[in-house]
Amino acid sequence: MEELMSYAWWTFAFRWLHVMSGIMWIGHLWYFNFTQAPTVPKIPMELRPAIGKFILPEALFWFRWGAMATLVTGLILAWMMGELGQTIRIGIGDHNAHMTSIGIGMWLATIMWFNVWFIIWPNQQKVIGLKPASDDEKKAAARLASLTSRVNTMLSIPMLYGMTSVHFY
């Protein structure tokens, strides 16, 4: 019981919550890019509205809140480990590869979080009809959202390298 209340246990608990939130977020990101985007063109026109009406709203909910939970638990974890300042400075001046690695992962993931909340989600709201938009505006919004989503998929690769390669140094 004592162990359950220890600082070390709570730090571990935030690491656990952080990784689960990260899976919720990046899992959806990869679903959008590896499964949904290449499959939609193959779906008969009359069935396509089901995606926008039923799948996207639910998937976007878990996607964006997964991103929020990952950022919040990640920052709390960095603070609990006493490495928040050093990781924000990406280890510059400390000569510490661990801080550089996590810091690069954190900055990349923070850019990705920004893209989710301030580019992908506002544009997807137009696409799924939660925000008023003309047909042309919807097309432009869908294009910008999918390009940003692709950028995030590419960033996720070095981001996860930085986030996990600390075990190697």
Binding site for ligand HEM (CB under 6 A): 15, 18-19, 22-23, 25-26, 70-71, 74-75, 77-78, 81, 83, 102, 106, 109-110, 113, 163-164, 166
CB of 78 to ligand HEM, least distance (A): 4
Write the DSSP assignment of 33-56 as a string of letters: IIIIHHHGGGS-GGGTHHIIIIIH
Q: Which is nearer to ligand HEM, 25 or 126 (CB)?
A: 25
Task: Tell me the torsion sign for CA atoms 103, 19, 65, 31.
Answer: positive
Q: 154, 148, 156: which is closest to 25 by C-alpha?
A: 156
CA–CA separation, 155 vs 95, rounded Å?
Answer: 25
Q: Which is nearer to ligand HEM, 36 or 73 (CB)?
A: 73
Q: Which is nearer to ligand HEM, 127 or 156 (CB)?
A: 156
CA angle 135, 140, 30 (to 5 degrees): 115
CB of 32 to ligand HEM, least distance (A): 15
Biggest CA–CA distance in the chain, Å, is 61
CB of 102 to ligand HEM, least distance (A): 5
CB of 140 to ligand HEM, least distance (A): 28
Q: Which is nearer to ligand HEM, 109 or 141 (CB)?
A: 109
